């Protein structure tokens, strides 16, 4: 299966949330937080990956300001009916006016009528954008703050931060380009994110209090989706290999060193928040990737890592009917939450707006205890585990996309027979008292 170039106009907003849905619905191995299959080869081209698109969507680029990319990692041969393309790793459904990760003010909506709905608990509306879209949620290790990307104030995406239980939001970036995929450092001081402000996707760092962003990667390849090591000294991210033509996993130092290490192939990596949970005291890194044969969709994998020493990859969970994407660790590193997009029955598994439906599932790190967290014909993507058994995610359950949260206790109890325990601080230090938290800048 090869990835070819497209010159179609795309909706960046769809790319943000629909990535998983679109890819899976196309019958290709893709996923929401993913760009094409990591195992495909690329055909050279020279067209724009993000052309004009639709105004108000995260993929929109004003006429005359499109950039040449040389390839489009979001289109597969054999999926001619799927008009999805997204430089961000998420499919964009050009048939819909909004992104699969859209905007609305979500009021208390009735739950899904399916049997799975009774597992849901404490469904809460977190962000309230009236226009644009809120997506890519990331919760601080102390559970107090949530950072996310949004187009609620303009056509390109910026990074915002807010208190988890608060109403006001603080805008951290204001570059004319797209700033997406935020990741808050373990100590709460910094945010890593991806931006295309210099012509291709690179990783940047900035303070959670605002200020100037510092560029971390600067080669011609696209780098996306940073995730912090438990000690805050390293970042893992995915990179489109210019030689391999595949999505690669790399680790880089954030303490001033120049060490950058290739650790394998995959997409949208997530570093386990608890150090030493892998074999021989190594850290675990979670990611998604697909096989190169058949219509096998994305599945979830881990590697055990320490500098200079990476294990062979281990598949944790897979499906013959669905693409499994957007994985996130529980605070104790014992469970994984992910989005599942059914691609074998795309005609019936669609949301009211016509986008592919997706649901959230929880599974143990050993692949056992798999249980559904959401159910119904909605888009539920980009889960991020917070404190107190809450998971934050993006959903279009009222017809548009925004960030919601849901409790996990009932689902975990149903899967394991045991009531889960929660800590107040995710097992890590909270923001130091001498550090000016984001709240002081509101």
Look at residue 280 and give its three-state secondary structure. helix
CA 368 from centre of chain: 23
Look at residue 170 and give its three-state secondary structure. strand
Residue span of the structural domain in which 207 resides: 115-416
Burial of residue 414 (number of CB atoms within 10 Å: 0-12, 13-18, 19+):
middle
CATH number of the structural domain spanning residue 331: 2.120.10.30
Burial of residue 401 (number of CB atoms within 10 Å: 0-12, 13-18, 19+):
buried
pLDDT at 49: 29
In a domain, 27, yes or no: no
Q: In 160-223, which residue ranges form alpha helices assigned H by DSSP?
A: none
What is the pTM assigned to this prediction? 0.75
In a domain, 142, yes or no: yes
pLDDT at 59: 30
pLDDT at 1: 28
pLDDT at 313: 97
In a domain, 349, yes or no: yes
Q: What is the CA radius of gyration of the chain?
A: 19
In a domain, 328, yes or no: yes
Neighbours of 417 (CB within 10 A): 8
Among 209, 214, 176, which residue's Cα sits nearest to residue 193? 214
In a domain, 44, yes or no: no
In a domain, 423, yes or no: no
Ramachandran sector of residue 258 (left: φ over 0; alpha: ψ -120 to 50; beta: rest): alpha
In a domain, 98, yes or no: no
Q: How far apart are CA 35 and CA 307, in angstroms?
A: 26
In a domain, 270, yes or no: yes
Consecutive 10-residue averages of pLDDT for the chain (442 residues): 28 39 34 33 26 32 32 26 31 26 24 38 86 93 97 94 95 97 98 96 97 94 98 98 94 86 97 97 96 79 97 94 94 96 68 78 95 87 94 85 90 77 48 37 34
Q: In 168-276, which residue ranges form alpha helices assigned H by DSSP?
A: none
Beginning with the edge strand found earlier in the chain, give each strand of the sheet holding 124-125 in spatial order.
124-125, 402-407, 390-395, 380-385
Number of domains in the chain: 1
pLDDT at 32: 34
């Amino acid at each position: 299966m090869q990835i070819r170039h497209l010159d179609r106009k795309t909706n960046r907003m769809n790319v943000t949330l629909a990535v998983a849905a679109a890819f899976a619905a196309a019958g290709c191995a893709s996923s929401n937080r993913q760009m094409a299959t990591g195992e495909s080869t690329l055909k050279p081209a020279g067209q724009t990956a993000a052309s004009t698109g639709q105004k108000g969507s995260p993929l929109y680029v004003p006429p005359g300001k499109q950039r040449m990319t040389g390839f489009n990692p979001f289109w597969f041969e054999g999926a001619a009916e799927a008009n999805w393309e997204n430089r961000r790793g998420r499919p964009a459904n050009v048939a819909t006016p909004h992104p699969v990760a859209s905007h609305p003010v979500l009021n208390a909506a009735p739950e899904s009528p399916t049997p799975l709905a009774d597992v849901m608990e404490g469904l809460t509306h977190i962000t309230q954008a009236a226009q644009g879209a809120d997506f890519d949620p990331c919760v601080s290790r102390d559970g107090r703050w949530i950072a996310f990307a949004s187009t609620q104030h303009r056509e390109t995406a910026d990074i915002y931060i807010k208190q988890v239980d608060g109403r006001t939001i603080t805008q951290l970036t204001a570059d004319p380009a797209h700033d997406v995929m935020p990741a808050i450092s373990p100590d709460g001081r910094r945010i890593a994110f991806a931006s295309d402000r210099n012509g291709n996707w690179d990783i940047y760092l900035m303070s959670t209090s605002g200020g100037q962003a510092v560029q971390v990667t600067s080669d011609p390849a696209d780098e996306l989706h940073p995730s912090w090591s438990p000690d805050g000294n390293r970042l893992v991210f995915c990179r489109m290999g210019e030689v391999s033509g595949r999505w690669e996993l790399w680790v880089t130092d954030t303490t001033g060193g120049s060490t950058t290490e290739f650790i394998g192939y995959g997409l949208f990596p997530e570093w386990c928040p608890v150090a030493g949970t892998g074999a021989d005291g190594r850290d675990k890194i979670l990611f998604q990737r697909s096989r190169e044969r058949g219509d096998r969709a994305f599945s979830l994998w881990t590697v055990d890592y320490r500098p200079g020493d990476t294990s062979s990859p281990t598949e944790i969970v897979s499906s013959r009917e669905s693409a499994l994407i957007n994985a996130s660790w529980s605070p104790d590193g014992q469970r994984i939450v992910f989005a599942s997009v059914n691609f074998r029955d795309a005609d019936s598994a669609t949301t009211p707006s016509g986008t592919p439906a997706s649901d959230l599932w929880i599974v143990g790190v050993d692949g056992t205890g798999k249980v559904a967290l959401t159910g119904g014909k909605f888009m539920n993507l980009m889960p991020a585990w917070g404190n107190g058994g809450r998971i934050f995610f993006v959903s279009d359950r009222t017809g548009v996309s925004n960030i919601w949260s849901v409790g996990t206790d009932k689902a975990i109890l149903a899967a394991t027979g045991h009531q889960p325990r929660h800590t107040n601080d995710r097992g890590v230090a909270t923001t130091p008292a001498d550090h000016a938290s984001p709240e002081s800048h509101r």
